[in-house]
Amino acid sequence: MKPKVAFFDFASCEGCQLQKLNCEEELPLVLDAVEIVNFREASSARSDDYEIAFVEGSITTPHCVERIKKIRAQAKFLVAFGACASTGGLNMLKNFQPLDEVRAYVYGDGAKYFDTLPVRPVHEVVPVDYKIHGCPGDKGDILECVRSLLLGKIPKEKRYPVCVECKRKDNICRYDEGEVCLGPITRAGCGANCPSNAFHCFGCRGLVDDPVTDSARDVLAKHGLTPDEILKKFRLFYGYSEVAR
């Protein structure tokens, strides 16, 4: 019997699900090993009988809360898939504005019909077994997660910063090019994707465990950023953490 896998989306752009579909070369092998019973972007199949749930998106409404609880009750293993699900991602920007203003801005006169809550990552509402970080979730991480689950193992999250992967690749540091970069305090796992393509890390995988944020602030300030600019940089993807308050 193949394990049954379901994909679900909450508040998100659905780019993480698309990233799964981008694993074109590996998809036939994945489909040999698992049965996908729910995946709105790719299939009309709908079933509530599954063991593994990949959940994309943040929890932002009372309906989201009810729905994620039902998914958790069914799934033996629940993966928070992508930044919106694992840290709140870009959606957390909403929490720095008055909720009524945000609602009125988006829905205008119809705002009263749309209930809203402060944004939360999935683990703030139900227990999560594993997090795939990044915006979008990294293809390599997705495949490693599926492979580990099929072997009955829980994959390990990277606990070191992007700089480690960047140095391994012998990239030119963006600071040496006169830019600023959040790699020193951002969780690795993307293979230093942005610096490897001559772009700075903007923190999409969220903060690494035990980040040295005071030093990171000092370095950003030394490179000319004002406290407000630093806060804006931190809020883009670290919104769930204290450093962005």
Residues 6+ apart with CB under 8 A from 116: 60, 61, 99, 102, 103
Nearer to ligand SF4, 75 or 84 (CB): 84
CB contact burial 61-97 (16+ within 10 A = b; e otherwise) = eeebeeebeebbeebebbbbbbbbbbbbbbbbbbbee
Work out how close the CB of 190 gets to ligand SF4 at its nearest, in angstroms, rounded to a whole number.
3
Closest-approach residue to ligand SF4 (CB): 183
Work out how close the CB of 152 gets to ligand SF4 at its nearest, in angstroms, rounded to a whole number.
27
Work out how close the CB of 148 gets to ligand SF4 at its nearest, in angstroms, rounded to a whole number.
21
Nearer to ligand SF4, 29 or 212 (CB): 212
Interaction site with ligand SF4 (CB under 6 A): 12-16, 56, 82-84, 89-90, 134-136, 162-163, 166-167, 171, 173-175, 181, 183-184, 186, 190, 192-195, 201-205
Work out how close the CB of 178 gets to ligand SF4 at its nearest, in angstroms, rounded to a whole number.
12
* Six-digit token string for 36: 């996908």
Strands (E), 33-129: 35-38, 52-56, 77-81
Work out how close the CB of 63 gets to ligand SF4 at its nearest, in angstroms, rounded to a whole number.
18
Nearer to ligand SF4, 19 or 116 (CB): 19
Nearer to ligand SF4, 37 or 135 (CB): 135
* Phi, psi of 185, deg, nearest 5: -120, 10
Overall size of the chain counted in residues = 245
Residues 93, 11: Cα–Cα separation, whole Å: 13
CB 218 within 8 A of CB 237: no
Nearer to ligand SF4, 136 or 211 (CB): 136
